[in-house]
Chain A
Amino acid sequence: MNATSAEQASAPVTEDALRSVLLAGERPSRPGPVLTSLTFGWRALLKIKHLPEQLVDVTMFPIMFTLMFTYLFGGALAGSTQEYLQFLLPGILVQANVMITMNTGITLNTDIEKGVFDRFRSLPVWRPSPLVGALLGDLVRYSIGSAIVISLGLVLGFRPEGGAVGVVLSVVLLLLFSFCLSWLWTMLSLILRTPNSVAGVSMMVMFPLTFVSNIFVDPKTMPGWMQAVIEVNPITHLATVVRGLMHGSVPAGEIGWVLVSSVLLVAVFGPITMILYRNKK
């Protein structure tokens, strides 16, 4: 930090200016929960603007995975890289989004550690709005991540039979699920002490959740117990839905599954998060 040059730039505090600014303060009426949440969402966007490097993991990771899996394993797994890409890309999209959700927890934990959260909690606003706002801001991240993965896929030869409608619908469902899943990370970040431990624990949950699923390969060749595990993993159902919609089918039962697990995630982790948030020391 270069303190000296900054200090020179600052003018002294003048009594008159201070007085007039204190007297001029108005007392506007308190905004509602939607506006305060959106305002916190705006803060998240400002962070993306100031810290564009945070988008690197959002973009590099899925690009790497797509290229690696397609060209390393594509031939062996599906007979040809082109055929495998049709199967893999929707799965990668799911993995990318689910991975990006972890960022929510890490950001929140950093806020708490630094002390900014005390300021937010001391404001007379709807209490969940800082959290909801952060999650809304993250929707922008997910959208950017999704756009990149899909564009890369199209370049490499991904041809979604469901057309634009299918792609958009599947992304909307993905955003919904990601928003709901984020409450798990916000809960974790209120329990764990440092941003690093949040990242560590998130990874430990994340890897099995995304790999022990049907994202990369069809589970048909796996042992029965493994298939059973994969079958209860919500990520599997999400991948099935995204894959289905992108390729033109509408797996209604599976969509129901995804909606139910989304609601459950919020219903369970939302209130726990809010209780922890209220009682945070």
Chain B
Amino acid sequence: MGTFAIETRGLKKSFGKTHAVAGVDLAVSAGGVYGVLGPNGAGKTTTIRMLATLLHPDAGEARVLGYDVVRDAQAVRSRVGLTGQFASVDEDLTGVENLLLLARLLGYSRRRGRERATDLLDAFGLAEAADRQVKKYSGGMRRRIDIAASLVVTPELIFLDEPTTGLDPRSRNQVWEIVRGMVAEGTTVLLTTQYLDEADQLADRIAVIDHGKVIAEGSSGELKASVGAGSLHVRLRAPEQRAEAEQVLAGVLEVRAEPSADPAALSARISDPERVARSLAELSRDGIDVTEFALGQPSLDEVFLTLTGHAAKETPEEDAA
């Protein structure tokens, strides 16, 4: 132990009969973004709350920045920042009041605290909203003040619990920029997400969790590679030929071809890239016109499906308010 920013062994937490976290082992290196990917109810929040010393684990141990989360809770608290999944600032207060409150609690003088609050609001594009109650903020602004509140004292490590859930794409990009900015300055970020593309885009390493257990771990490339060589995506001129094309592809590739959401498209996992060309030739011989085709690495989507047997949530609902 000691070289990792976060290290857990056999971490467990149950609520009555629900095994929210059922034996989680993590090893997170310092620096960079570590993604914890899992669907709703997978145990992400419970894990983070144990790491942030808000919940006592039932079993197992966890060290954050070298400190035990139970025995050295206070040492952990003074070094990490937490941005919870839900409201993490006081909605009734204004943006500047919230940050000043935290600055005072963390030991800033009144004057320095006010300066720090102003600087943070400026950096997060919230200067105009400084004197407005947080409950009047939009979804994206709320998320930014939530994160800013975790940076009043620059933490060595920050937990972000589903920082972009429910945000519109623009606000989501802003949060991503903030995360990248923090990493560039040397902060370690552990973020949870339900979105595969988010983990793919941001995280250096990803732990996929489901039903309270880590079911896969690695860089997104490694996770994809573990699923197979990739897949073939085909788009047909005539959607009514899709069933026929499914048959043809299945015959040549020797795997099931899956219809996509697009009524004219389908895709198939491939084990042997050699057969791709043959399958396309076969389609044209049978009079099935292909307008587009692509050979892709497997998406994290497919990874998730393979690992868990069920799909993860795919796209964020767009909800700014």
Contact = CB atoms under 8 A, between A and B. Distances in A.
Interface of A: 1-4, 6-7, 9-15, 17-31, 35-36, 39-40, 42-43, 46-47, 50-51, 111, 114-116, 118-119, 121-125, 279-281
Contacts of A13: 123-125, 144, 174, 177-178, 181
B202 interface: no
Contacts of B93: 43, 46-47, 50
A25 B129 contact: no
Contacts of B132: 6
A23 B187 CA distance: 11
A12 B54 CA distance: 33
B154 A31 contact: no
Contact of B54 (A4, A20, A51, A118): A118
A281 B119 CA distance: 34
A6 B127 contact: no
B299 interface: no
B151 A42 contact: no
Nearest to A115: B86
Contacts of A29: 107
B259 interface: no
Contacts of A31: 104-107
A15 B135 contact: no
Nearest to B92: A50
B154 A25 contact: yes
A3 B101 CA distance: 25
A3 to B, nearest CB: 4
Given A6-B137, A22-B151, A28 B108 contact: yes
Interface in B119-138: 119-120, 122-129, 132-133, 135-138
B97 A46 contact: yes
Nearest to B128: A9
B149 interface: yes
Contact of A119 (B82, B107, B109, B185): B82
Given A11-B127, A116-B87, A3 B105 contact: no
Nearest to A39: B104
A30 B136 contact: no
B123 A17 contact: yes
Q: Which 4 A-B pairs have the closest CB atoms?
A: A25-B154, A28-B107, A115-B86, A124-B78
Q: Which of B82, B88, B112, B152 has the most CB of A within 10 A?
A: B88
A123 B152 CA distance: 11
A19 B93 CA distance: 26
A110 B137 CA distance: 19
Contact of B181 (A19, A47, A118): A19
Nearest to A9: B128
Contacts, number: 167
Nearest to B152: A25
Contacts of A20: 119, 123
B273 to A, nearest CB: 40
A20 B144 CA distance: 17
Q: Which of B80, B90, B133, B320 has the most CB of A within 10 A?
A: B90
A279 B56 contact: yes
B53 interface: yes
A50 B131 CA distance: 12
A21 B77 contact: no
Contact of B129 (A1, A6, A281): A6
Given A13-B178, A18-B178, A24 B119 contact: yes
Contacts of B185: 19, 22-23
Contacts of A19: 181, 184-185
B202 to A, nearest CB: 15
9 contacts: A1-B135, A12-B174, A25-B152, A27-B153, A42-B104, A50-B93, A118-B84, A119-B84, A123-B102
A119 B88 contact: yes
A6 B137 CA distance: 6
B320 A22 contact: no
A123 B174 contact: no
A22 B182 contact: yes
A27 B74 CA distance: 15
Contacts of B78: 30, 124
A47 to B, nearest CB: 6
A7 B133 contact: no
B255 interface: no
A36 to B, nearest CB: 6
A175 to B, nearest CB: 24
A15 B87 contact: no
Contact of A122 (B82, B101, B182): B82
Contacts of A1: 135-136, 138, 321
Given A1-B321, A19-B185, A114-B86, 11 more contacts: A10-B129, A14-B125, A18-B177, A21-B120, A23-B185, A28-B109, A50-B93, A114-B87, A119-B88, A124-B74, A280-B54
A95 B154 CA distance: 47
